[in-house]
Structure 1
Amino acid sequence: MAGAEPQIGGRIKRLRRQKGLSQAQLAETLEISASYLNLIEHNRRRITVPLLFRVAGYFGVEPGELAESDDGRLAGDLMELFGDDIFADSDLTNQDIRDLAANHPAVGRAVLKLFDQLKQFQRPEAHQEAPQSGYNLVTEAVSDFLQSEANYFPTLEAAAARVRADIDNAAEGFEQGLRTYLFNVFGIEVRLASLPTGVVRRMEEGGRVLAIADILEPESALFAMAQQAALLSAEAEIMALIEASTLPQPDSVGLARNVLASYVAAALIMPYEPFFIACRDTRYDIERIGRRFRASFEQVCHRMTTLQRPGMSGIPLHLVRTDIAGNISKRFSLSGIHIPRHSGACPRWNVYAAFLNPGQINVQVSQMPDGARYFCIARAETKGGHAYNAPKRHLSIGLGCSAAHADKMIYADGIDLNAPGGAVPIGVGCRICPRRECGQRAHPPADHRFPADDGQRMENLYMGVRSGPP
């Protein structure tokens, strides 16, 4: 039995669900049987070219968007996994891993899940006197969930549009209208308050008062208020998405609720169509858009990744957030670039160089070992610390796309995206990167062999390693 292209079935299912269609309804429209559509969606039948064009035409997307494979992201995750020290004696090649991702994606994802649980078990907190069971990496599960849905949720967009319409009808301005909405609909008064360190918002006085930390930046305070409104007004839609997902229950519910409520909050502050038009007209000028919608740099970047509405979609972007120690706390990719799952990214990536010039946008054309080029911007920011002696957090936000889409971004003006030698050579991570000439290696490649040459010492000890058996 021939298998379907690994990504097409999932994309068709996601588009069908976004339109609220059953398999029977879509099958009737496409003039095929529901059982045949079911097999396609579960990647058990290949889709014919004429049917591919009918599906693309119905959903208003390019056929190529449906046909693009997700093998690269899965293969990258698996390469990172098999680059771990526990597989040092394995004879797996990169081609073996790519074959696994392409031919048996379900097995590959199961292996990833097992490895995630192993990494969680290896963490010190997993060895307390009362160890937990299940050892799920909840953050990775939620990240995978967002990735599987292309970080676009039509039901949440609709919920946000409904609430925003009520607020706009009050003609008081968005912030005051949001306050009025919370009071009139839920009986909640919003107040600024001195809250304990680390607390952004808190319900007080029996749920009648929403206290917002008075040390927050205006954009963060507005977002905190919008997030509380989202939890109250879109609870049904949020829980329906969680219950229909494959997220581990109940471990991930709290985090998933928070993440999806943040999605609704962003959609409230930056409504889809006006925000999409602003991105298109300003060519993704983040600071200009932020001033228009009273949103922070990170909030605007994150919202840009959600522009996946069929017929009104933005650039396929990737987003990464890292701290100064290289810990990645947000990762999402529609651009095709691979962001490491368990380890830090390549030190040559501008998301790290941005720390050298905080507050400034750092621009980079980068090239992966396979030749793929990406256009990336990054900006480092300092958060917190608004009270005397309060600790600060140093984070860098990276946003980018395939070099093929870079001309749609204002930051690419004046840059030769195709200049020979003009791209910075980067990799996914040292353990799986084949660039032996890199002087910034922190680890040797997973299949390394050290040379027995005492007469020569390289700038970096790992530059002289070679691949393959001795």
Structure 2
Amino acid sequence: MSNKQRIFAGTQLRALRKRHQLRQAELARQLGISPSYLSQLEHDDRPLTPPLIGRLASTFPLDWQDFPSEDTEHLSVLLREAVADPIFDSPLDQNMIGRLAEQQPAFARRFIDLRTAFRRASQRLEMFDEALTVDADEGSRLPWEEVRDWFHLSNNYVDPIDRAAEDLAARIGGQATVLSIEALCRHLKERHSITVEIRPAETLRSYNAAGNVLVIDAGQPMASIRFQIAYHVVVTTLGEMINMLAKTAQLRSDVARALLTVGLANYASGALLMPYGHFRKAARAFRHDVDRLALHYQSSFEQTCHRLSTMQREGERGLPIFFCRVDMAGNITKRHSATRLQFARFGGTCPLWVVHEAAAIPDRIQVQLAETPDGVRYVSIAKGLVKTSGRFDRNPRRYAVALGCEIQHAGEFVYADGIDIASERGATPIGVSCRICPRSDCEQRAYPPNDQRISVSPLQRGVVPYEFAENEHAE
């Protein structure tokens, strides 16, 4: 597959033109192209070119957030997962899937959404109590899935908010590169007449608008207390920008927009506490040592990992990494990848991935050299975390976070220093998920891949009770 990304965005272009009440000739003039060329773009007869992408991004910065920015590989992975469903008799040719993802991205996304809707409908039939409480007319994606995908399509970087938060950090802290709790509280008091009280409370953060009092639960770790105060700083200062982005996002429900508003405020909080320019420079200097960065910026391990995953500013990109958070049940609750590694949209993660081991052993960084079925190798780290509740009668929250990069960037990743990245047998063979992993010799399979026929012999048993059909006569 070509490394040069081709983006077909006819639907988005037409929507943009109608939203701004522009005729084709008017939009073509703004973009410096002919009306006939614009017509071809709107009908997906031609892809967007890099110069045209730049003009769209600069002329319509807010609208550009809604344009397709995912690469073809990512869409191909999602499409392959969908067509591998057992309801289909036979898998599609992989080259055909790649061409569909590249040439008909809108159709590919609709197909993925349709398969998701079918799967959810099947689950509702199996779980009667869920069927009684879920609206049958809802969209194919749940609100939080829409928001997750919105951030992924934004490459986990929101330029206007990131830059505004960086400017705000400079105004609050002056020459200081790290904002203290005192500086944040002083800003709220002097600029917004809001008093911050850090004391035992039933909720992590609550605001009394009548008394202009922000209450932060003192039972949280200091990094979390600081983040909660920063959240209120960005909501009061950058709230209009955040609300506008959420309002204009192409989401299906008010619930999704509300979730996006909170997500953007959380994003802005991280950008305020770890300003892009300073943080990117420090990350390079520390070779992306998360503990050193967290100590320097007074942030938590997770906050620091999350911020590292947002270093996607044009012309000032950081290390291309993947990042995710996994709970004790194996659910991925946060995820982003600027690498070729993609996380499964359907089903669980690979049991051989180090993140599962880390979840059981908190506060110790686990390092793994992993190789995916496409032959790409990654240096991956994972750390189990325990977030205390601050009191005996509330269970702490337990999960693990994972971070990694492809081995060609190992020189900038301190965790690669102790492993032999060139070792032939030193890499752990992992997959996206059992559902689509093509490995026939994996002893950790939960179930066979959906696009493979299997052979079962009553008189023979290996580690798993089946073989791939194409290998049944192999010597």
TM range (shorter): 0.7 to 0.9
Which of 416, 438, 441 matches 1:412?
416
Equivalence for 1:76: 77
For 2:332, the equivalent position in structure 1 comes to: 328
Greater alpha carbon shift after TM alignment, 221-230 vs 181-190: 181-190
Q: Give the secondary-structure state (helix, strand or coil) at the position aligned to 2:281.
A: helix
1:101 aligns with 101
1:174-219 per-residue CA deviation (whole Å, 9 max, x = no partner) reads 31111011122222111123322xx310113625111111110000
CA RMSD of aligned residues (A): 3.5
1:170 is displaced (CA, Å) by: 10
Q: How many residues align?
A: 443
Q: 2:453 aligns with which of 426, 445, 449?
A: 449
After superposition, the C-alpha distances for 1:70-114 in whole angstroms (9 at most, x for unaligned) are 1221121122223344x2534534444333223321111112223
- Whether the 8 Å CA contact 1:80–1:429 is kept in 2: the answer is no
2:143 equivalent among 138, 143, 146: 138
- Give the conservation status (yes or no) of the 8 Å contact 1:290–1:300: yes
In structure 1, what is the Cα distance between the partners aligned to 2:40 and 2:323?
Answer: 33
Instruction: Give 1:184's aligned residue.
Output: 190
The match for 1:211 is 215
Shift of residue 27, structure 1, vs aligned partner: 8.8
Q: 1:435 to 1:289 in 2, by over 3 A?
A: same
Q: Choose which of 421, 430, 433 in structure 1 pairs with 2:437.
A: 433
> Corresponding residue for 1:283?
287
Aligned residue type for 1:190: V
- Displacement of 1:142 in angstroms is 0.9
User: Which runs of structure 2 are paired with 1:53-452 in the superposition (5 Å)?
Assistant: 70-85=71-86, 87=87, 89-121=89-121, 122-123=123-124, 124=127, 126-128=130-132, 131=135, 133-135=137-139, 136-169=141-174, 174-196=180-202, 199-204=203-208, 206=210, 208-452=212-456
Q: Kindly provide the amino acid, as one letter, of the partner of residue 409 in structure 1.
A: F
Secondary structure of 1:128 counterpart: helix
Q: In the TM superposition, what is the alpha-carbon distance from 1:48 to its structure 2 partner?
A: 7.3
Distance 1:34 1:456 in 2: 67
Partner amino acid for 1:82? V
CA shift, 1:422, in A, is: 2.1
Aligned equivalents of 1:336, 1:235: Cα separation in 2: 34
- Call closer, same or farther: CA 1:347–1:24 in 2, change over 3 Å: farther
Instruction: Return the offset for 1:53.
Output: 12
The letter of the residue matching 1:466 is: A
Seen in structure 2, the aligned counterparts of structure 1 residues 46 and 239 have a Cα distance that, compared at 3 Å, is same
Flag the 1:261–1:107 CA change in 2: closer, same or farther, 3 A. Answer: same
The 3 A distance-change label for structure 1 pair 40 and 88 is closer
Distance 1:42 1:285 in 2: 47
Task: Tell me which moved more, 22-31 or 436-445.
Answer: 22-31
Partner Cα separation in structure 2 for residue 146 and residue 370 of structure 1 = 26
> In 1, distance between residues paired with 2:231 and 2:120?
29
Pairing 1:466–2:469 present = yes
CA contact (8 A) 1:5 1:69 kept: no
Listed as ranges, the gaps of 5+ residues in structure 1 are 59-67
Superposed displacement of residue 158, structure 1: 2.6
In 2: Cα distance, 1:339 partner to 1:322 partner: 11
5+ unaligned residues in a row in structure 2: which ranges? Answer: 17-21, 59-68
Q: What secondary structure sits across from 2:455 in the alignment?
A: coil
Runs of 4+ in 1 over 6 A off after TM superposition: 22-31, 51-55
- Indicate how the Cα distance of structure 1 residues 173 and 314 shifts in structure 2: closer, same or farther if over 3 A, else same: closer
Q: Which amino acid is 1:261 matched to?
A: A
Q: CA deviation at 1:237?
A: 1.3
The residue type equivalent to 2:339 in the other structure is: S
Against the structure 1 CA distance between its residues 188 and 120, is the aligned structure 2 distance closer, same or farther, given a 3 Å change threshold?
farther
Q: Which moved more, 1:168-177 or 1:214-223?
A: 168-177
> For residues 129 and 46 of structure 1, what CA distance do their matches in structure 2 show?
43
1:251-274 C-alpha deviation (Å, 9 max, x unpaired): 301110111001100011101111
When the two structures are superposed, what TM-score results if normalisation uses the length of structure 2? 0.83
Q: Which amino acid aligns with 2:99?
A: D
Alpha-carbon shift at residue 8 of structure 1 (Å) = 4.6
Tell me the distance in 1 between the aligned counterparts of 2:182 and 2:108: 50
Counterpart position of 1:65 = none
The answer (yes or no) to whether the contact 1:147–1:332 under 8 Å persists in 2 is yes
Amino acid at match of 2:166: A
Match of 1:191, SS? Answer: strand
